[in-house]
Structures are given as C-alpha cells and as structure tokens.
Amino acid sequence: MQRKIIHIDMDCFYAAVEMRDNPSLRDKPIAVGGQASGRGVIATCNYQARAFGVRSAMPTHKAQQLCPDLVLVPHRMEVYKAVSQQIHAIFRQYTELVEPLSLDEAFLDVTGKPHCQGSATRMAEAIRADIYAATGLTASAGVAPNKFLAKVASDENKPNGQMVVAPEQAAEFAARLPLKRIPGVGPKTSERLQRLGLSCGKDVLALTAVELEQMLGKFGPVLWQRCQGLDERPVEPSRIRKSVGVETTLAKDLPTVDACLAQLQTLVPELRRRLAKSQRSIKGQTVKLKFSDFELTTVSQQSQQLNPGLFEALLTIAFNRGGGRAVRLVGIQVELADARTLKQLTLPL
C-alpha cells in the first residue's frame, strides 16, 4: 500500500502564541528570545520581523540592528508546551502513528486511515482546521508518499497553507528542488555542492551514489536517494533519543583555554543529572565550542563511561582550532548507546 505521510508545521509558533495572547502585538515585528545584553538568541519571530531579515537562531543584537522596532518577548515555555499538548492530541485523533519533531511540528502516517474517506489531503485540511478551532493558531502542511517530501512540501505555501506531492510527481518535484532545501544540506554542504557545480536535484542525479559518497561521505548516498524523491524511513512514534547534552552561551567571551576548562566543569554536574534521568549507557563524548565570530567546531571520541578528563582533552583540541579566537559558547554532549541493543545483550542465556 502506498504510504500517505503528512507533515504539520505550526506557523512561527512561539510568536503566534504571543500575538494570540496579546493582540496589540499582531501588527508589530516581534521575536521571542533573550535580551541582547545577555548574549541572547532569537527562538522565533513573526512574518513582519522576517521581512527585515530576522531569523531563528540569530543573535538578538543582530536582529535589533536589522529591525530597530523589533519587539522582544521573553519565553513562556510552559504556555507553549500546553498548547503543543493540545495540538498533538488532535494529531492522535487521526492516527496513532505520530512522530513529534518538536513542540510545533510532527510527521503523521495516515496510510489506510478511514477519516475523510481515506484522503490524506482532506485529513491535512481537517487537522489544520481543528488546530485553529482549538487554539486560534494556524498551521501549514505537506502531504506526500514519504517523510522527506512531506517536510519540504509543508514549507512551500507558508503561512497557513498546504501542498500535496502525489506519488507520480515525486521524482520530478525532487529533481527540480534546490539542494539547499533538502534536509541535511546545511550552509557548508550547500557551498561545497555549489563549488562542484551542483545546485538542484537533477544535477546530483548526473552522478552515481558511489561518487557522491566519495565527495560527501555517508550523506552522499542519502542525498542521491532524496534527489530521486525516495525516502524509506518510517514514521516512528517512539523515537529513541540519540544524545544528551548541555551548553551555555557566555555573557563575555572566554579568551583562554583555562577559562573554557573552568566553564566546562560547571556543565558536567547537569550533564550527569540528565544522563542519569535517561537511564542509558553511553558510546561517545563530544565537546562543542562556538568562537567569537560564530564559527562552530566539535570534537568527539568514543567512550563507554562518562569521563570528565576526556571532555577536557577534547575541549583543548577544539580550542586550538580557533587560532587564538575567544569562545562565546561551550557545550558538552554524550552519545547514547542503542537501548534496544542493550536490552538484547542483557537477556539471560
């Protein structure tokens, strides 16, 4: 049976909740995020702010430079979580196969479901209408035969829009898709592909999967499949968490490796707490640094137990990559062992 996948993505979710609860904000450029004085970052913004070039993950001070009239609103995470619970309850009225990606987006597998006479297109329309009736917020949707195409399609007609990619349209749609629109193609990969003369799906299909693997590593064959409109990943209601981490953006840049090591020590207790809560073993450790010019670097190594000394060694390597640049963010992370594998290993013989 041909799969029917819906990707639902709320429109500027945090900002939309703030505009709903405070109508005086509706005609103003607003952003939810931290204060510039505290090295804050924008979590999300409304479409009026986006018209000025403001974007998620942008430093607040830069956003205020682009949009001097920007209204900065602090997080109300408990409110966003409560609204998210309403939205996900609506999803589960249509299918038990719901894979949450965040508070405001999810994949739904509605294959063979009886709602709306089995039409995934009509189900997506009904879900969006139900969300608006329950919360007063709009959502956009993508409908397609797989997760990759559904996610891309949900972004085509934002805000409050919907796009359908039928199975017979999948290959053509993917072939003309700009590569930077494909999930997994970040800014650096996009630049590299451009240098290779690859800008859209059909350019990639002129190469083989082997050639792409030589160029891009493991992601090469994945990209080759995506450019054909293929994606066999199932919707997974119970996604297994792959890592646990903690990081901090600093009020003042750290100029030395010793200062970074001192900051690292303050993060370890919280990481231990989160790891204990997950009740999982680990298989690796990672240190992440962001330098004063916002360049990010990570260093990883395999490890089967939490070792603060290993974090220190990895941080030293990461710091030395900066060539003397100060550090504005320090983060540590552990990669978790597969819970299913561990369960199999502990079965009695």
And the tokens for 329? 């963010």
Give the type of residue at 175: A
CA angle, residues 62, 191, 246, in degrees to nearest 5: 55
Of 60, 91, 62, 76, the residue nearest 21 (C-alpha)? 76
Distance CA 128, CA 161 (A): 9
The burial class, CB within 10 Å (0-12 / 13-18 / 19+), for 251 is exposed
Token output for 188? 């650096």
Q: How far apart are CA 149 and CA 59, in angstroms?
A: 31
Single-letter code of the amino acid located at 131: I
For the chain, the 3-state helix, strand and coil shares in percent, each to the nearest 5, are 45, 25, 35
Place of tokens 């981490």: 245
Was 9 annotated as part of a binding site?
Answer: yes
**Is 155 one of the annotated binding-site residues?**
no
* List 18, 105, 156, 247, catalytic entry: 105
DSSP for residue 195: H
Which residues are within 8 A (CB) of 112 and not within 5 positions of it... i.e. 6 or more apart?
A: 1, 118
Q: How far, in Å, are 261, 280, 312 from residue 306 at the CA level?
A: 16, 11, 12
Is position 105 annotated as part of the catalytic site? yes
Phi, psi torsion values for 107, nearest 5 degrees: -95, 140
Which positions make up the binding site for Mg(2+)?
A: 9, 104
Which positions make up the binding site?
A: 9, 104
Hey, which residues are catalytic here?
105
